[in-house]
A and B are shown apart, each in its own frame.
Chain A
């Protein structure tokens, strides 16, 4: 028997949602054959079977969440293993005497229900007695301390607990009025989908970003008429070669990289706890990809030393992997700046949300032919609307204006882009 436990899927990933079983109990799997598709906060991955044999049991059904280290499948590989001698740690059940943390039985019960280890608390009551308020404060108090954990307690069906938590959070910000959700089904039919995996990760990241970062949006239009002519000409010549699609995005990444070198504030991160700004000397540009099973941001690394061709080829590869849910975790980490290009789907302008803890994000609108005035004449030009959303703690409006103007200048003239960047 071989117990296959959910392996470590990357930094900060503790669980995954089962998307699909490739083998079910009774099936025979071969070594390295696909076993299960698991979706984590970052990506969906196919996990191959580490052993060949008959599947004896699987950890759960599609949609269940398994934790790292939890037994995922048991495979009968013909090797017998000794049963674990002791499954539950046992200890004498005599009364705790001496000096446990003083707290009333009802308070101890509350602590257990809220998942608080009462022995770690120092009470505010007489002689250090732990009060129910001490326990609740500890249960809710994860908010300022935890950086990676969700600021909200874990999912809860306990209406009383949610109400209590909401009241507590509401108390932290004047006028903030956080109530449990009303019963929507009272007003018509609803369908309930658990918030999981990528959707939950996006929710956390965007809430964190909007709450922590004072966003400013700076907008401008780039005249990409010449760039588009150049791009289309090159694209035809390079048809069929890697990176042959030669999208506008690859040019923008090139131009952005040049801009970041000149304005390092937009390639930085702010550490609010240490009160430091970290300037990164590397340029890893992420691009938002709509994969059909959620938003994924593949990262093109070292864009300062890659040609537009190389960048274009990499965008194609990574977008394809992301759509298949096979993008390695590593290719989603280490970004320093993000671009979101919803333009091809439509929209004249957008205000993107910063991909925290980065400092800025560029939103690309749709390239449209528009009448513009050039040398006193109305002419038709191809216009790309751009919005830079940035962290006002790190950069100011003037910095953004200079950064975007330079970007617009570079995108307006392919020669400049090739010469200056």
Chain B
């Protein structure tokens, strides 16, 4: 191959092999399209698989086993002191990632999707140049380049961890300061706390996990705080000074400036879309000032033959939203009449207990003046929750008062991430309370809480004390 001279012509090219890009490529291949997938990294899978959802969940699961073992003494089981071999845990996590990434590679190979490992840049709206030389001209393109961790502010020492660094489990520090109380910061805090680190959290806003309904967050915060050394809200990190084996951190808290020393500092302050250095200025693609690519409901950008999906496009940065968009973009390219018309994109936080919600939140209803009826069922009244000793949490259902149409659902408690799918289905189907109350839910399971919350909203619950008349 003569570098720089190769020009490949393809029907459709997908840039990025994350949960948006690889799904789009597979779907296109199944629809009979010739697809080329361009991926910068060695392995397919994107942030989600390589340094996000998958490794973090495998770590979280491990520490939750430890946590469960610690609490088992109430049930008469004792295990003695927890021993952590973080190298083995890291290998386990890497094994999970490797297996899944190989799985994606296999799916692509089976469908004859050609994968080019390079960085692509738009020359114009029908041509990409590759950093290794050569160009790809295409009829359709799907931009699925995802997002990156926000850069640390200027002057911060590179030995400060990002969440990607922390996921690699380089060590189990004695103390750790986590800057940022969003979902990434909280999940990582719990991982390290579970491994034995003394963890402190600093959050700029008055609350952790801004964005979720407060009643859900409050239950989680109460549990999480008990495992943390300290949680400082309305606080700001002024400076981080590396000392070689530790960091001196100056924090503004409660109007006072305090100085603390931590072995490690982790900064988890959000992500930004990967729309820079793509050569988008050579196309008609419109990018807003936050770097988000504007798309329509077909996932088409302002340039009709170029699509954008996942984190680089507008909407929440979630793998499952990217995958759905990947299918839509692929089918749209194949000429199907498709659009992103979803009413519920479930949001899930893998804290302990987990939080999940979808559709309308109480906060949004309040802000927009939408009249709602809420039914809430506490796990403390549920047989299964008692049996597993996990009674903290509840399920709430938000519905339209006159019609009982289900508009939103929120869950805090064990397995909230699994349970929320029923809420998403109910909202997408246009289900009413009666649809949930009249569906038999297996006993004894946590899923009964959904049926019970619907009963509460409908005023027909028998497992709570009768409401005052």
Q: Do A and B come from one complex?
A: yes
Digit string of A84-100 for contact with B (CB within 8 Å is 1, else 0)? Answer: 01111111111111111
Which chain B residue has the least Cβ–Cβ distance from A90?
B294
User: Within 8 Å CB of A123, what residues of B?
Assistant: 430
Known contacts being A98-B368, A99-B407, A112-B338, is A87 close to B284, with CB within 8 Å? yes
Contact A93 B325 (CB under 8 A): yes
User: Within 8 Å CB of B359, what residues of A?
Assistant: 95, 97
* Cβ of A155 to closest chain B Cβ, rounded Å: 16
A384 within 8 A of B: no
A108 within 8 A of B: yes
Q: Which of B193-201, B251-259, B309-317, B374-382 contacts A (4 or more CB under 8 A)?
A: B309-317
Contact A97 B304 (CB under 8 A): no
B432 within 8 A of A: yes
A69 within 8 A of B: no
Which chain B residue has the least Cβ–Cβ distance from A96?
B343
Contact B303 A88 (CB under 8 A): yes
Contact A93 B403 (CB under 8 A): no
User: Within 8 Å CB of A128, what residues of B?
Assistant: 403, 405
User: Within 8 Å CB of B370, what residues of A?
Assistant: 98-99
Digit string of B98-133 for contact with A (CB within 8 Å is 1, else 0)? Answer: 000000000000000000000000000000000000
Q: Size of chain A's interface in residues, with CB distance under 8 A?
A: 33
User: Within 8 Å CB of A85, what residues of B?
Assistant: 284
A113 within 8 A of B: yes
User: Within 8 Å CB of A127, what residues of B?
Assistant: 400, 403-405, 430, 432
B286 within 8 A of A: yes
Contact B316 A94 (CB under 8 A): yes
* Cβ of B29 to closest chain A Cβ, rounded Å: 22
Contact B360 A97 (CB under 8 A): yes
Contact A94 B315 (CB under 8 A): yes
User: Within 8 Å CB of A93, what residues of B?
Assistant: 295, 297, 299, 313-315, 321, 325, 340
Contact A96 B342 (CB under 8 A): yes
User: Within 8 Å CB of A101, what residues of B?
Assistant: 430
B408 within 8 A of A: yes
Contact B313 A88 (CB under 8 A): no
B82 within 8 A of A: no
Residues of chain B from 394 to 452 with CB closer than 8 A to chain A in the complex: 400, 403-405, 407-408, 428-430, 432, 434-435
User: Within 8 Å CB of B286, what residues of A?
Assistant: 86, 90
* Cβ of A367 to closest chain B Cβ, rounded Å: 57
* Cβ of B134 to closest chain A Cβ, rounded Å: 28
User: What CA separation (Å) do A89 and B338 show in the bound complex?
Assistant: 16
Contact B302 A95 (CB under 8 A): no
B339 within 8 A of A: yes
A243 within 8 A of B: no
* Cβ of A81 to closest chain B Cβ, rounded Å: 15
User: What CA separation (Å) do A83 and B303 show in the bound complex?
Assistant: 12
User: What CA separation (Å) do A94 and B292 show in the bound complex?
Assistant: 13
Residue in A88, A97, A104, A126 whose beta carbon sits within 8 Å of that of B432 in the complex: A126
User: What CA separation (Å) do A109 and B294 show in the bound complex?
Assistant: 23
User: What CA separation (Å) do A100 and B427 show in the bound complex?
Assistant: 10
Residues of chain B from 330 to 380 with CB closer than 8 A to chain A in the complex: 337-345, 358-360, 364, 368, 370
Which chain B residue has the least Cβ–Cβ distance from A114?
B337
User: Within 8 Å CB of B405, what residues of A?
Assistant: 99, 102, 127-128
Which chain B residue has the least Cβ–Cβ distance from A83?
B284
B296 within 8 A of A: yes
Which chain B residue has the least Cβ–Cβ distance from A125?
B430
* Cβ of B418 to closest chain A Cβ, rounded Å: 20
User: What CA separation (Å) do A86 and B303 show in the bound complex?
Assistant: 8
* Cβ of B319 to closest chain A Cβ, rounded Å: 15
User: What CA separation (Å) do A113 and B400 show in the bound complex?
Assistant: 29
User: Within 8 Å CB of B360, what residues of A?
Assistant: 97-98
Known contacts being A87-B304, A90-B302, A104-B429, is A95 close to B344, with CB within 8 Å? yes
User: Within 8 Å CB of B295, what residues of A?
Assistant: 90-91, 93
Of residues B299, B343, B428, B435, which shows the largest number of chain A Cβ atoms within 10 Å of its Cβ? B343
Contact B296 A90 (CB under 8 A): yes
B162 within 8 A of A: no
* Cβ of B142 to closest chain A Cβ, rounded Å: 14
B301 within 8 A of A: yes
Residues of chain B from 260 to 306 with CB closer than 8 A to chain A in the complex: 284, 286, 294-297, 299-304
* Cβ of A158 to closest chain B Cβ, rounded Å: 11
* Cβ of A125 to closest chain B Cβ, rounded Å: 7
User: Within 8 Å CB of B339, what residues of A?
Assistant: 112
User: Within 8 Å CB of B358, what residues of A?
Assistant: 95
* Cβ of B466 to closest chain A Cβ, rounded Å: 26
Contact A97 B408 (CB under 8 A): yes
A105 within 8 A of B: yes
User: What CA separation (Å) do A108 and B430 show in the bound complex?
Assistant: 11
* Cβ of A57 to closest chain B Cβ, rounded Å: 16
Of residues B405, B408, B434, which shows the largest number of chain A Cβ atoms within 10 Å of its Cβ? B405
* Cβ of B161 to closest chain A Cβ, rounded Å: 31
* Cβ of B28 to closest chain A Cβ, rounded Å: 19
A129 within 8 A of B: yes
Residue in B296, B403, B429 whose beta carbon sits within 8 Å of that of A89 in the complex: B296
Contact B302 A126 (CB under 8 A): no
Residues of chain A from 121 to 144 with CB closer than 8 A to chain B in the complex: 123, 125-130
Contact B284 A92 (CB under 8 A): no
User: Within 8 Å CB of B299, what residues of A?
Assistant: 93
* Cβ of A116 to closest chain B Cβ, rounded Å: 11
Known contacts being A89-B296, A90-B294, A102-B430, is A95 close to B342, with CB within 8 Å? yes
User: What CA separation (Å) do A128 and B400 show in the bound complex?
Assistant: 12
Contact A88 B304 (CB under 8 A): yes
Known contacts being A88-B296, A88-B300, A95-B343, is A104 close to B430, with CB within 8 Å? yes
A417 within 8 A of B: no
User: What CA separation (Å) do A86 and B339 show in the bound complex?
Assistant: 20
Digit string of B184-223 for contact with A (CB within 8 Å is 1, else 0)? Answer: 0000000000000000000000000000000000000000
User: Within 8 Å CB of B315, what residues of A?
Assistant: 92-95
Contact B364 A90 (CB under 8 A): no
User: Within 8 Å CB of A112, what residues of B?
Assistant: 337-339
* Cβ of B209 to closest chain A Cβ, rounded Å: 18
User: Within 8 Å CB of B340, what residues of A?
Assistant: 93
Which chain A residue has the least Cβ–Cβ distance from B293?
A90
User: What CA separation (Å) do A103 and B343 show in the bound complex?
Assistant: 10
Residue in A91, A99, A108 whose beta carbon sits within 8 Å of that of B296 in the complex: A91
Q: 5 A-B Cβ contacts within 8 A?
A: A92-B315, A93-B325, A93-B340, A102-B405, A125-B430
Closest CB pairs A-B (n = 5): A102-B430, A90-B294, A127-B403, A93-B315, A95-B345
Residues of B participating in the A interface, judged by any CB pair closer than 8 Å? 284, 286, 294-297, 299-304, 313-316, 321, 325, 337-345, 358-360, 364, 368, 370, 400, 403-405, 407-408, 428-430, 432, 434-435
Residues of A participating in the B interface, judged by any CB pair closer than 8 Å? 83, 85-105, 108-109, 112-113, 123, 125-130
- Give 10 new A-B contacts, CB below 8 A, not counting A92-B314, A96-B343, A112-B339: A88-B300, A90-B314, A91-B297, A93-B313, A93-B315, A95-B358, A96-B342, A105-B341, A105-B342, A112-B337
